[in-house]
Amino acid sequence: MKYILPKNDLNALLTAWSAEYAVIAPQKTGAYAEFLPFTPQSELRLQEPHNTRYPVKALFFPQSEAILKYNRNVGQLENLEPEPQKRVIFGIRPCDAKAVTLLDTVFAEGDNQDPFWLARRAETLLIGLGCHEPCATCFCTSAESGPFHRDGLDALLTDLGEVYLVAALSERAELLFSGLTPADAAQQESALLLQAAAEKSLPKVFELDGLKEKLDRVFDKEIWAELAQSCLGCGICTFLCPTCFCFDLVDEAQRDTRVRNWDTCMYRVYSLEASAHNPRPTRKERTRQRLMHKYSYWWEHVGKLGCTGCGRCVRYCPVGLDIRAMIRKAGAYESEVLHAN
């Protein structure tokens, strides 16, 4: 079902939801937007063409969280049970919602499912806001996604100026929006035209067809050293990536607690083994790992691309590295060499 939500009524609607749910929405924090708990006084940031700086994954997989505790009194380990809370995440972009579904394949499938992830996912509704004016760093249409992609969403909003057109995609979302006025045919047609225009404004920046095979063939080539020349190894690209999930486990003796912290394959010590051997000793190997994981290994493991084209790694890289150009260059490397011969 499709509904019309006047923008002037948004604050009242989110306030009404707050009686039953913890409502989280993009809000201004300094120079950036961040997903924070909503209050009637919140300054929402829904008009910016780009995403929040931190990805929504942090709301399901926190940057640091205690997962186990040691009770000295009885000499036993105690599991910390997740405490689920009914939540609505409002204003999530389609690329971030799709990223949550990709992380489901890591934390919610197979024999070793993560109870913390599962508890948060079960109690959370994702209300998306489509990108009617995608920004220059976005490339979702090249990454099996799009500015109005629906994967993972309970509802999707389209900005029609003074109102939002709401497409309810799940039964739980229908309950949230059922009190609104249904959209008429003209409003639905306007939304479709706007969505098509937004999609058209994002031309393909690389082709996925055959890309995995091309990257696999240049695994041992020097192209990776060339691509890594400017990289600082700071890890910003991975920490701000909505699909990166590397973590480290630390036992904090003073707190008698085991803590899970975000980590990154871009750090030298990440792959350092106890023997002192490091299979990724330089930024060349670590850059290769990052790109191969997104554009080759994900396809091997789950049959999906591990990137949603959100553009954060492009927007926030301190030295201006652009993953789009890196993928084009790596994908074309072998054919260029063969042509030269």
pLDDT tops 60 at residue 177:
yes
Domain count, the chain: 2
Whether 99 is in a domain gets the answer yes
pLDDT tops 60 at residue 192:
yes
Looking at the fold, whether 86 and 132 belong to one and the same domain comes out as: yes
Looking at the fold, whether 171 and 310 belong to one and the same domain comes out as: no
Which among 200, 235, 267 is the end of a domain?
A: 200
> How many angstroms separate the first and last alpha carbons of the chain?
59
For 118-173, the pLDDT digits (tens) are 999 999 999 999 999 999 999 999 999 999 999 999 999 999 999 999 999 999 99
Looking at the fold, whether 154 and 224 belong to one and the same domain comes out as: no
Distance of CA 144 to the CA centre of its chain: 14
Q: What is the per-residue pLDDT for 185? A: 97
Average pLDDT over residues 239-268: 95
Q: What is the per-residue pLDDT for 325? A: 97
Q: What is the per-residue pLDDT for 341? A: 47
pLDDT tops 60 at residue 340:
no
CA atoms within 13 A on the CB side of 31: 1
Whether 168 is in a domain gets the answer yes
pLDDT tops 80 at residue 68:
yes
Task: Kindly give, in sequence order, each residue whose CB lies less than 8 Å from that of residue 26, ignoring residues fewer than 6 positions away.
Answer: 33, 34, 35, 36, 44, 45, 46, 52, 91
Whether 205 is in a domain gets the answer no
Looking at the fold, whether 167 and 146 belong to one and the same domain comes out as: yes
What 3-state DSSP class applies to 308?
Answer: coil
Looking at the fold, whether 169 and 305 belong to one and the same domain comes out as: no
Q: What is the per-residue pLDDT for 31? A: 85
Which among 174, 200, 226 is the end of a domain?
A: 200
Looking at the fold, whether 189 and 263 belong to one and the same domain comes out as: no
Which among 169, 200, 231 is the end of a domain?
A: 200
Q: What percent of the chain has pLDDT over 70?
A: 98
CA-atom Rg of the chain in angstroms: 22
Q: What is the per-residue pLDDT for 75? A: 82
- How far apart (Å, rounded) are the C-alpha atoms in residues 285 and 333? 17
Average pLDDT over residues 18-40: 94
User: Please, what is the average pLDDT of the chain?
Assistant: 94
Looking at the fold, whether 49 and 161 belong to one and the same domain comes out as: yes
Q: What is the dihedral of CA 270, 273, 274, 275, to 10 degrees?
A: -150
Q: What is the per-residue pLDDT for 48? A: 83
Nearest-CA neighbor of 3 among 225, 263, 183? 183
Looking at the fold, whether 194 and 217 belong to one and the same domain comes out as: no
Looking at the fold, whether 12 and 153 belong to one and the same domain comes out as: yes
Reported confidence tier of residue 336, pLDDT bands at 50, 70, 90: low
Looking at the fold, whether 141 and 264 belong to one and the same domain comes out as: no
- CA 101-106-107 angle, to 5 degrees, is 90
For 75-132, the pLDDT digits (tens) are 888 888 888 899 999 999 999 999 999 999 999 998 999 999 999 999 999 999 999 9
